[in-house]
Structure 1
């Protein structure tokens, strides 16, 4: 069902430029008064938090097909994953070891994380990077923001601003795995001194590195605005359609050695469990549309108001072939063939979601020579219908209604917050910072889940009757000291609290509800900078109560599962440095050493008897153990060359061992890896063009065989004769692509 719409014919090859930071200066870019900006949640150069800005030019230099997480790999403490292995489709990001459900992501101050899962699925907003003005990554608890609390980082995205002059841009990419991207952007510039309009359409498609791991995505971005001397208003809509073949399951160590590209999703088995083929329509298909109305009003030079209304509409499904499933679990009766009762059978099911998310945010900002202050907040409502249908059953004898529905439930969530923050200049280079937030959540889930509950008689689908309320007070405070023009330092303390995700409720134990988690975040930083050299160090200690950590298990669609641990912490040191070695050569590096531990951890293993019937749970006290997916060391390097239109970058990343669960067992771990990417490009001008850029990027230059994600899949077997229990480990991995290339051309008018 590939569309492969060639939106722009005759596009040449060129490559992606890994972004180079001119200097890791942590400051917000100058803002035009006539542009709509929602910036109260952003850190400034004198805010005592650890953050990095990525500007429009840095994004442009590397935006030729890969998802946004892979555009951020050169920033401190960032790890990326890709189910398909090539950075397109289902990708994710971790910061300081925390997963995407604990990274707050906003666009123009509006929450982008799904209100229930707390994740952002970048596949639903393909090529959003082409419509961004900049991004800011705050590590740790960060400043107060809208949406779910930040437990590892915040990513604040700002969509593109207005252009004073008309423009057009055509770009295209082509490379390994039949990967191609086509983008067309146009803008009117300022019309009648007040109006401006911009548009973008994009297509991205790939066969993926792994077998059948295809992705076909289209997207758009439209904005129009009125810009006055004191009032500006902008309407934005953007969205995407995606169709991806599942690559949600990992592969074994044997497959890593013998068949790294193997994808077990969609397999069709015979009666003996042998794979005889793969289901063609094992796909995920989703459409998501965003609407934003942004208002900016300046009362006086000191007082400014930002207001935004938003709505996001989403619907889609995923379809999958399931081998030998119990009919009763799908609300269907066993049937008889030749006197034999058939209770298990192959079938195809489709799980669907329909969601709506809307609300409003605001901030009232005050600025004078010594004080920056803001009062803001927002209220949002979310509703999501989940339901499943059986659309085909092998050799079924009986009455099967078309699209037989076997479960349905509805999630509803109201989320409101209000905050007040101030940054006051005391004098002698000292600034005091305070940030107080109150957040209230009401979350309900009602209906039947898709999980079968065999803990009660009679057995039935898990019944969901969740009605949870949370009230969080999150104070933050800190001090910034500009010692002299070259030296600065800061210290801060923050409290962050966060409610569980939907999966924490539906994929955990039937008899036990997950708890909210709490974080005390301590940060201490120092920066030195001059015209040719910049260096910084940040120390952090993140002390958690009831942290929800990944336990190495995944649910049926490959989503990582988590559990509360009473007492845990993350502590580390982040180093950054950048040097302008020559006028045309720059070197930027970063490194993170960390210690991530759970105190008094107990691991639970599903235990099976000799007939492979689930027998019990085996508890093993482990003592103090490392937190899963939290490497103790990672480092990045970026050489940037720029001379007379020629540009080149050489980017490297090293990541130490990561554990797939919380036991610290090396059997269940991801080996360390060291990956290098090389880009070479050339920019020139021809009559009728503002510029033409061509180039190529070679990813994984030295063909490193590595993995960035996986799960432990550990279990236990019980022998009643010897009364002994044996722990069995079967780690599964998501392999990344070997050496591959992506070429690109960009024409600007």
Structure 2
């Protein structure tokens, strides 16, 4: 690392001092407005042609930019014609040019198809809470951070690094986790269709991002299945990309390296445009053993066929592998201090990885590793039918292939030994004196066994084939009303299997734990009895699971917009049908492999209004109701990994939300404030546990649990509600032409808001009268002598009223200063505050009690934290190329703070477990050459 840094610095110094940088600079000013109504164009990109310099217009459409004499600047805005202006000096002594008012005209033939613009909100027009992140901001602030972390200074946003591996970060919006935040690229949904989650390691598109927009709350996205907490939409480069390109190299802490290039042809005279990007990122990782390697490729080919038709083909992918710190390998606070005292020799204990260790020949080993590639290809067609109507269609496909490690064991204790910790306590079964995981001892254990490997490693394959179609018809009624109507079709097949990849020194592995649940009544393979259970498996054989999950969604949506003078309003609605089914090859034979198909009709209705009181003041409001299908995992199929049994109590989740907002926009100061209220009703919540946890000591007569189709018992909770409300403020101040001050403050009150009850189920059947059936002897009943406590047999109840929602800071604040010290040097410092962050709500199998009432208290409140981030850049010329050297130092003062935790039994710091600390000080430097 040190040698690489010396080489980089020497190269940089040689570059700087070997080129002429004393070029005449000119300060260019102007205002960008809409040619139709003279409204300021907020967030329009103003860039120097052939150079990386650029700014965005403020809330009045004004901009100030330092450029070389005789440069050409380009003004672009999505859905409007580009404008280029030559900077011409009236005489040689001038050092400033005022371009005056620059009017942008709507471009009916730009790539503004609905798959993009349906998810774009416009300030002082769209009545939603929105924040837009520009490419210039991303380039200056991102550094070595994960892409979601660029949002941490946005109101209502909380970003965490998870276990700390490459791409393992997560983002929460208004207290809602990623599965309830719609993630889109060019308007195309990215959330997993079985459980809603997002893996950011699959998306590293910062170098080709044209706009990164967050809509909090209901948002304005025109899709048939909206999100609960908000939406994040990444817009990539396309036909508007300027001719030119760049190459760059960056390096940072812990062996971080990144090389990248991008090139764009610009729009040719024959209507063709192409953008291409490639990059490689690799490093050792901040966390012990969390090395990684990632590649990104991006291609966009666009063709303006004629005045009525335009095609755009976009393809991208980010194949990667990275070693991880298991998300369950967080410790207690006392556990981290023990690590600091016993193992780390003065280094930060929070880099410690409890599952990092070495094999018998000294090779580095990990029990947590992720390998994935999820390329996506989309074909977009825009048909301008006439001067009022257009049809925009996007056809897309995503083929995901990859896996994560999954340790296997002959018993549950053997499986748990793959983890570095258990509920915050360090697992000492395989632990060396230096704190590393003793993988060599697993080899010794397996080699000494006379019945094959006691422990083995498998890869948990989670691949998918995903196809979709988004098509929207747009027309105008009269002068003031715009209508949008369209269809949203999605087909998804998830392929899930576990395959042995390493026997760790053993000759074979017997999967007796999961195979004992394969019954003759469901699977002909079980007819062989013990020969199936005791089959000697080799590398490549399947263990634990082998099934496909299917999701099909068909939806229609419509929206009407009214825009006249100071008023902008919209009303929209959508209806969708979501179908789920499973096909299980492991626990069922062909006659029983396919589950029943479950259909859920979802719908939503929302509307909003924005009123521009004056040129500086505006107010807005929105309100909506959503009825959304439950997720397949944990909602429709309670034991989704191993059973076709359908949850008989599955119902749609409902959301009611309204919001009020106010904006002030002037040349020197801009501020937005909004208040929101979101009621979440019938949230999906279920937990499972071993059936013996219930029946031991409660059975009226002997029984054989191995004869049950599933030894897993499930509580499916109903009536789980939550209330999220809060206030958000953000502002931008420009007291001096060279200084910009940014800030935000948000405070939320997020609580569970119900007493929930649940049914105790085995094999998908409610246990009525506390009785279950033995699967081999269908007529034989096993009676549970459960204490009733006034409740129906086979039920339990949770008192969640006013319990704080955990997992996200409910108070956040930020303050930043960005200064142009000279025409070539920019520096910035950002402060971020996270407070009232409660540990994640814990509802484990030990809480499941038949016929009982479980009363919860609010979880432990994590201490508040402050961090500071610094960036700096220096721009100069290298021959005919523009160059910039930039650097970032995140967590400048190396603040120690807890970012995430799970609540313990006493709701205090001593019992909180799975505690993770944020990263300490990190840094990077980067050289970028643009042509």
How high is the TM-score relative to the length of structure 1? 0.83
Aligned with 1:71: secondary structure? Answer: helix
Q: What displacement does 1:299 show?
A: 2.3
Q: Work out whether 1:414 is the aligned partner of 2:592.
A: no
Q: Which residue of structure 2 lines up, in the alignment, with residue 705 of structure 1?
A: 896
Distance 1:424 1:337 in 2: 71
CA contact (8 A) 1:327 1:344 kept: no
Q: Which structure is larger by alpha-carbon Rg, 1 or 2? A: 2
Q: Which residue of structure 2 lines up, in the alignment, with residue 722 of structure 1?
A: none
* Correspondence for 1:582 among 726, 733, 736: 736
CA contact (8 A) 1:322 1:348 kept: yes
Q: C-alpha deviations, 1:601-628, integer Å up to 9, x for none?
A: 5699x9xxxxxxxx99997645421112
Distance 1:676 1:214 in 2: 26
Q: Work out whether 1:72 is the aligned partner of 2:151.
A: yes
Aligned with 1:263: secondary structure? Answer: coil
Aligned with 2:137: secondary structure? Answer: helix
Stretch deviating more after TM superposition (705-714 or 677-686): 705-714
Stretch deviating more after TM superposition (388-397 or 19-28): 19-28
Stretch deviating more after TM superposition (529-538 or 142-151): 142-151
Q: What displacement does 1:31 show?
A: 2.9
Q: Which residue of structure 1 lines up, in the alignment, with residue 460 of structure 2?
A: 351
CA contact (8 A) 2:579 2:598 kept: yes
Paired residues for 1:423-442 under 5 Å: 423-425=561-563, 429-442=566-579
Query: Structure 1: any 5+ residue segments left out of the alignment?
Result: 271-275, 331-335, 451-461, 554-560, 607-614, 717-726
Q: Which residue of structure 2 lines up, in the alignment, with residue 455 of structure 1?
A: none
CA contact (8 A) 1:504 1:514 kept: no
CA contact (8 A) 2:161 2:170 kept: yes
* Correspondence for 1:696 among 878, 887, 891: 887
Q: Which residue of structure 2 lines up, in the alignment, with residue 35 of structure 1?
A: 110
CA contact (8 A) 1:203 1:218 kept: yes
Q: C-alpha deviations, 1:650-692, integer Å up to 9, x for none?
A: 1121111322233786774432211110001111223220x11
CA contact (8 A) 2:126 2:610 kept: yes
Instruction: Mark the CA change 1:421 to 1:661 in structure 2 (over 3 Å): closer, same or farther.
Output: same
Distance 1:624 1:449 in 2: 43
* Correspondence for 2:379 among 284, 293, 304: 293
Q: C-alpha deviations, 1:409-443, integer Å up to 9, x for none?
A: 1111111221111221365x233321111121111
* Correspondence for 2:271 among 179, 190, 194: 194
Structure with the largest fraction of strand: 1
CA contact (8 A) 2:224 2:556 kept: no
* Correspondence for 1:251 among 315, 323, 330: 330
Distance 1:552 1:735 in 2: 29
* Correspondence for 1:635 among 803, 806, 813: 813
Q: Work out whether 1:655 is the aligned partner of 2:834.
A: yes
Q: Which residue of structure 2 lines up, in the alignment, with residue 738 of structure 1?
A: 920
CA contact (8 A) 2:238 2:275 kept: no
Instruction: Mark the CA change 1:489 to 1:550 in structure 2 (over 3 Å): closer, same or farther.
Output: farther
Q: Which residue of structure 2 lines up, in the alignment, with residue 624 of structure 1?
A: 802
Q: C-alpha deviations, 1:329-379, integer Å up to 9, x for none?
A: 99xxxxx99999869821111111221111211112224642232112311
Q: What displacement does 1:262 show?
A: 1.6
Paired residues for 1:104-119 under 5 Å: 104-119=182-197
Distance 1:464 1:637 in 2: 55
Q: Work out whether 1:471 is the aligned partner of 2:546.
A: no
Q: Which residue of structure 1 lines up, in the alignment, with residue 296 of structure 2?
A: 219
CA contact (8 A) 1:102 1:149 kept: no
Q: Which residue of structure 2 lines up, in the alignment, with residue 596 of structure 1?
A: 750
Aligned with 1:254: secondary structure? Answer: helix
Q: What displacement does 1:173 show?
A: 1.1
Instruction: Mark the CA change 1:401 to 1:10 in structure 2 (over 3 Å): closer, same or farther.
Output: farther
Q: What displacement does 1:479 show?
A: 1.9
Q: What displacement does 1:527 show?
A: 0.5
Q: C-alpha deviations, 1:51-76, integer Å up to 9, x for none?
A: 12223333333344433201222221
* Correspondence for 2:485 among 369, 375, 388: 375
Distance 2:414 2:924 in 1: 49
Measured on the aligned residues, the alpha-carbon RMSD in Å equals 4.0
Q: Larger relative CO (CA 8 A, sep 6+): 1 or 2?
A: 1
Instruction: Mark the CA change 1:552 to 1:594 in structure 2 (over 3 Å): closer, same or farther.
Output: farther
Q: Work out whether 1:312 is the aligned partner of 2:404.
A: no
Stretch deviating more after TM superposition (464-473 or 491-500): 464-473
CA contact (8 A) 1:311 1:358 kept: yes
Distance 1:671 1:20 in 2: 37
Q: Which residue of structure 2 lines up, in the alignment, with residue 458 of structure 1?
A: none
CA contact (8 A) 1:351 1:386 kept: yes
Q: Which residue of structure 2 lines up, in the alignment, with residue 169 of structure 1?
A: 246
Structure with the largest fraction of helix: 2
Q: Which residue of structure 2 lines up, in the alignment, with residue 495 of structure 1?
A: 625
CA contact (8 A) 1:144 1:437 kept: no
Instruction: Mark the CA change 1:360 to 1:337 in structure 2 (over 3 Å): closer, same or farther.
Output: closer
Q: Work out whether 1:361 is the aligned partner of 2:470.
A: yes
CA contact (8 A) 1:443 1:468 kept: yes
CA contact (8 A) 1:323 1:345 kept: yes
Instruction: Mark the CA change 1:269 to 1:694 in structure 2 (over 3 Å): closer, same or farther.
Output: closer
Q: Which residue of structure 1 lines up, in the alignment, with residue 669 of structure 2?
A: 533
Q: What displacement does 1:244 show?
A: 0.8
Distance 1:290 1:217 in 2: 16
Instruction: Mark the CA change 1:399 to 1:371 in structure 2 (over 3 Å): closer, same or farther.
Output: same
CA contact (8 A) 1:109 1:145 kept: no
Q: Which residue of structure 2 lines up, in the alignment, with residue 122 of structure 1?
A: 200
Number of residues paired by the alignment?
Answer: 690
Q: Which residue of structure 2 lines up, in the alignment, with residue 178 of structure 1?
A: 255
Instruction: Mark the CA change 1:311 to 1:156 in structure 2 (over 3 Å): closer, same or farther.
Output: same
Instruction: Mark the CA change 1:731 to 1:708 in structure 2 (over 3 Å): closer, same or farther.
Output: same
Q: What displacement does 1:745 show?
A: 1.0
Instruction: Mark the CA change 1:177 to 1:337 in structure 2 (over 3 Å): closer, same or farther.
Output: closer
Query: Structure 2: any 5+ residue segments left out of the alignment?
Result: 16-51, 62-75, 82-106, 341-348, 417-444, 509-534, 690-714, 761-785, 788-794, 843-855
CA contact (8 A) 1:118 1:148 kept: no
Instruction: Mark the CA change 1:293 to 1:208 in structure 2 (over 3 Å): closer, same or farther.
Output: same
Instruction: Mark the CA change 1:277 to 1:550 in structure 2 (over 3 Å): closer, same or farther.
Output: farther
Distance 2:638 2:538 in 1: 28
Stretch deviating more after TM superposition (595-604 or 578-587): 595-604
How high is the TM-score relative to the length of structure 2? 0.68
